Structure 1
């Protein structure tokens, strides 16, 4: 394993640790929501979401090491900046939604829709972060096959996920 591959693996592992932190927060928020009568929707697609996000992390490292993808600084540094920006956006979403944020779709009846933070600018900012990260993270070390495969599968998954969220929140798709 080259030095750049090692550092890339460390980066991907750090993103994996961040995902585990999200799961801890999500579990705490789910307990809060269920204690207030929260209703979960879309449970059937959640395992696919977990599998896809796990495959992104594993696939990126495997592709880089198995195919000896080059480290291209002119590509790597902007992609790393996008990965960091995606993480910042994701945590801005988490902090803005507070206990209403979750990796699952759990809606507390009567809870107001959040319209502050990044939600005043974008309808689904967390998914913008997911899309950007799904492209940028693998491209930090030119794992373009992983970036393309994740992106294609993610479009299909997000089309289901957003529809489930919109329906659960009682929002018309496309409404502002």
Structure 2
């Protein structure tokens, strides 16, 4: 079951990267400017290492699904729903990079009606609940801290880019 779970998550991430590349081409044709290029490779590396550590911890330490696996899996599915709600709400503007079209109007629909960065909230929840599914507490602890540090940098860069370039 664990390997099926990992394969589904990997397929999801690969599909998201394809959507991000397609969206990047679309918004760059509109004059989008990229911000945060310096931290982006570290963001990608952190996400890749999260899965490497998760796989390693579960495999090496022979972790089994939590006794609460059904509830945790339900939370993970709910969180994925929020992820795709955010993605669909942003449409062509959704990306893994910080790409801002000058003078564009900020999206205020979907989860963005209630929260500035719902996709980042999704990642925080994933970095908690994916390891909890198998009791991978080292992965949860290490990557929750790394993600908090990364999001501090990332959100500041994104907020500055949006403040300087979007229509009020």
Mark yes or no: TM-score above 0.5. yes
Match of 2:76 among 72, 77, 83: 83
Does residue 109 of structure 2 align to residue 116 of structure 1?
yes
Shift of the alpha carbon at 1:92?
A: 0.6
Of 101, 105, 110, which aligns to 2:98? 105
Q: Which residue of 1 aligns with 2:144?
A: 151
Partners in 2 of 1:134 and 1:18 — Cα distance? 15
For residue 70 of structure 1, give the secondary structure of its aligned residue in structure 2: coil
- Provide the aligned length of Structure 1 versus Structure 2: 164
Query: Out of 136, 146, 167, which is 2:129 matched to?
Result: 136
Q: Is the 8 A contact 1:8 1:140 kept in 2?
A: no
Question: CA separation in 1, counterparts of 2:129 and 2:3?
Answer: 14
Q: How many Å apart are 1:77 and its aligned residue?
A: 2.0
Unpaired runs of at least 5, structure 2: none
Alignment deviations for residues 90-114 of structure 1 (CA, whole Å, 9 cap, x no partner): 1111100000111000001121100
- Asked whether the 8 Å contact 1:60–1:138 carries over to 2, the reply is yes
TM-score by length of 2: 0.94
Structure 1, gaps ≥5 residues long: 1-6, 172-176
Q: Distance in 2 between matches of 1:44 and 1:10?
A: 34
Q: Are the equivalent residues in 1 in contact too, given 2:43–2:150 (CA < 8 A)?
A: yes
Q: Which residue of 1 aligns with 2:35?
A: 41
Indicate if the aligned counterparts of 1:38 and 1:109 stay in contact, CA closer than 8 A.
Answer: yes
RMSD: 1.1
- Cα deviation for residue 30 of structure 1 reads 0.4
1:27 aligns to what SS in structure 2?
Answer: helix
Contact 1:82/1:133 (8 A) holds in 2:
no
